[in-house]
Chains A and B, each alone.
Chain A
Amino acid sequence: MRIGLFVTCLGDVLFPRVPKATTALLERLGHEVVFPADQTCCGQMHVNTGYQRDALPLIRHHVEVFERALADGCSALVAPSGSCVGSVRHQHAEVARRLGDDELAQRAGAVANRTFELSEFLVDVLGVTDVGAAFPHRVTYHPTCHSLRMLGVADRPLQLLRAVRGIDLVELPDAEVCCGFGGTFALKNAQTSTAMLADKIAWVRHTQAEIVTAGDSSCLMHIGGGLARLQVGVRTVHVAEILASTEDAPWGSGEVPR
Chain B
Amino acid sequence: MTTFLGMPGPPADATSELRGSVPFPVAAEAGLTNSRLRRNLSKATGTIRAKRAAVVAEVADWEELREAGRAIKEAALARLPELLVELEEQVEARGGVVHWARDASEANAIVVDLVRAKGVDEVVKVKSMATQEINLNDALEAAGIRAIETDLAELIVQLADDRPSHILVPAIHRGRAEIRQIFLEAMPGLDPGTLTDDPRQLAEAARAYLREAFLRARVAVSGANFGVVETGTLTVVESEGNGRMCLTLPETLITVMGIEKVIPTWRDLEVFLQLLPRSSTGERMNPYTSTWSGVQPGDGPAEFHLILLDNGRTRVLADPAGRSALHCIRCSACLNVCPVYERAGGHAYGSVYPGPIGAILTPQLTGLTGDSVNDSLPYASSLCGACEEVCPVKIPIPEQLVRLRAEHVEAYASAHRIPSGEAAAMRTASWIMGDATRFARAGRSARLGRKGIRSGRAIVPLPPPLSGWSSSRDLPALPEETFREWWARTRGGERR
Residues of A within 8 A of B (CB): 7, 9, 11-17, 19-20, 34-41, 43, 45-55, 57-58, 61, 69, 72, 90-91, 94, 98, 145-146, 148-150, 176-178, 180-197, 221-222, 224-226, 228-229
From B25, B442, B478, B488, A189 is in contact (CB under 8 Å) with B25
**Which chain B residues lie closer than 8 Å to A222 at the CB level?**
473
User: Does B479 interact with chain A (Cβ within 8 Å)?
Assistant: yes
Verify B476–A58 contact, CB threshold 8 A.
no
Contact at B468–A180, with CB atoms within 8 Å?
no
Partner of B496, one of A43, A72, A183, A229: A72
Chain B residues near A12: list those with CB within 8 A: 443, 482-484
- Chain B residues lying within 8 Å of A36, measured Cβ to Cβ, are 496
A182 lies within 8 A of B382 (CB)? yes
Q: What separation, in Å, do the CA atoms of A123 and B321 have in the docked complex?
A: 35
Query: Quick check: A58 and B484 within 8 Å, CB to CB?
Result: no
A229 vs chain B, min Cβ distance (A): 5
User: Looking at the complex, which one of B380, B403, B405, B496 makes contact with A34 (CB distance below 8 Å)?
Assistant: B496
B344 surroundings in chain A (CB, below 8 A): 192, 195
B190 within 8 A of A: no
- Docked-complex contact A57 and B406, CB < 8 angstroms: no
Contact B403 A98 (CB under 8 A): yes
Q: Which residues of B contact A195 (CB under 8 A)?
A: 32, 343-344
- Minimum-distance CB pairs A-B, first 9: A182-B382, A225-B473, A190-B468, A50-B405, A149-B385, A178-B384, A50-B409, A54-B430, A16-B483
The residue on A at minimum CB distance from B487 is A35
A190–B494 CA distance with the chains assembled, in angstroms? 42
Count of A-B residue pairs with CB < 8 Å: 215
- Does B471 belong to the interface (CB within 8 Å)? yes
Q: How many residues of B contact A (CB 8 A)?
A: 69
Q: Tell me whether B481 and A16 are in contact (CB under 8 A).
A: yes
Question: Taking the complex as formed, is B456 at the interface, i.e. its CB lies under 8 A from any CB of chain A?
Answer: yes
Residues of B within 8 A of A47 (CB): 402, 406
Interface of B is mostly: helix
Tell me whether B25 and A191 are in contact (CB under 8 A).
Answer: yes
B23 to chain A, nearest CB (A): 10
Q: Report whether A57 and B343 are in contact in the complex, using a CB–CB cutoff of 8 Å.
A: no
Known contacts A149-B388, A229-B473; is-contact A50 B479 (Cβ 8 Å) = no
A13: chain B residues within 8 A (beta carbon): 442-443, 446, 482-483
Kindly provide the distance from the CB of B488 to the nearest chain A CB, expressed in whole angstroms: 8
Given contact pairs A36-B496, A54-B426, A194-B472, A189 touches B483 in the complex (Cβ within 8 A): no
Chain B 403-417 interface 0/1 with A at a Cβ cutoff of 8 Å (1 = within): 101111110000000
**A185 and B385 contacting across the interface, CB-CB below 8 Å:** no
Residue from the list A7, A34, A91, A146 in contact with B494, Cβ < 8 A: A34
- Contact partner, B465, options A45, A188, A225, A229, Cβ 8 Å: A188
Binds A, one of B100-108, B128-136, B217-225, B431-439: B431-439
